[in-house]
Amino acid sequence: MSSNATQLSKFLSFVLRHEPHSIGLVLDQQGWAPIEEVIAKGNAAGTPFSRADLLDVVATSDKKRFSLSDDGQRIRAAQGHSAVVDLGLSPREPPGVLYHGTATRFVDAILLEGLKPQARQQVHLSVDPATAHRVGQRHGKPAIFKVEAAHMHSKGFAFFIADNGVWLTDRVPSEFLVLSSPSE
Ligand code: HQG
């Protein structure tokens, strides 16, 4: 991704996940916004980009961060929201184990309190430890938790899969967490 595309991706993440009002945008209940409106309001707010630029970011996003509606008229962030949205995802049976990457400085608190969504709407979980490692690195020295997802599911916790394959759940109590050893 070019540096311009990276900047546009960050801008779109900011408005579609966190602060749509910062450019006068209103997301619908499921987090969608009309593409034309995102372009017009983004440009008016000082971030110049075209429809082609936006579609390029959607197509090349390494984590498939953005989804287009079936009619191609609307865009939303696949996950990561702090804005209150209901993505309308159906509960799904998770794999036996999922992974959560964090930073070592959060480990003690997580072992005590479990995983909480913090500023986001849900806890984000990865299907493999390598992805969790990359997520954790964003915060500092990475630490990886195994999440006993199937066990949680059997106890009635709901899991969802975002459009880009990231698993979501409301919280993970610490009894379902196992800290991975660094060699794993
Ligand atoms: C931690 C990125 C202390 C949690 C990624 C994490 C993901 C606690 C941090 C998506 C805690 C929140 C989300 C507790 C959780 N005490 N710390 N009880 N419970 N935490 O960024 O999962 O690149 O909101 O471990 O790839 O890191 O932006 O969540 O370290 O999919 O597209 O609190 O964002 O995608 O951090 O990342 P975040 P996350 P993008």
Average pLDDT over residues 76-90: 97
| Spacing, Cα 40 to ligand 1 middle (Å) | 31
- The CATH code belonging to domain 98-179 is 3.20.170.30
Q: Has this prediction a pTM greater than 0.85?
A: yes
Verify whether ligand 1 is closer than 6 Å to residue 112 (CB atom): no
The CA-based dihedral angle spanning residues 133, 135, 140, 141, taken in that order and rounded to the nearest 10 degrees: -10
Looking at domain 3-77, its CATH class is: mainly alpha
Domain residue ranges in the chain: 3-77, 98-179
pLDDT number for residue 43: 97
pLDDT band at 182 (very low <50, low <70, confident <90, very high): low
Verify whether ligand 1 is closer than 6 Å to residue 139 (CB atom): yes
On the question of pLDDT at 183 being above 70, the answer is: no
Which element (helix H / strand E) includes 35?
A: helix 35-44
Instruction: Give the chain's mean pLDDT.
Output: 96
pLDDT tens-digit profile of 98-138?
Answer: 999 999 999 999 999 999 999 999 999 999 999 999 999 99
C-alpha to C-alpha distance for 127 and 10, rounded to whole angstroms: 24
Verify whether ligand 1 is closer than 6 Å to residue 118 (CB atom): yes
pLDDT band at 3 (very low <50, low <70, confident <90, very high): confident
Can you state the percent helix, strand and coil of the chain, rounding each to 5?
A: 35, 20, 45
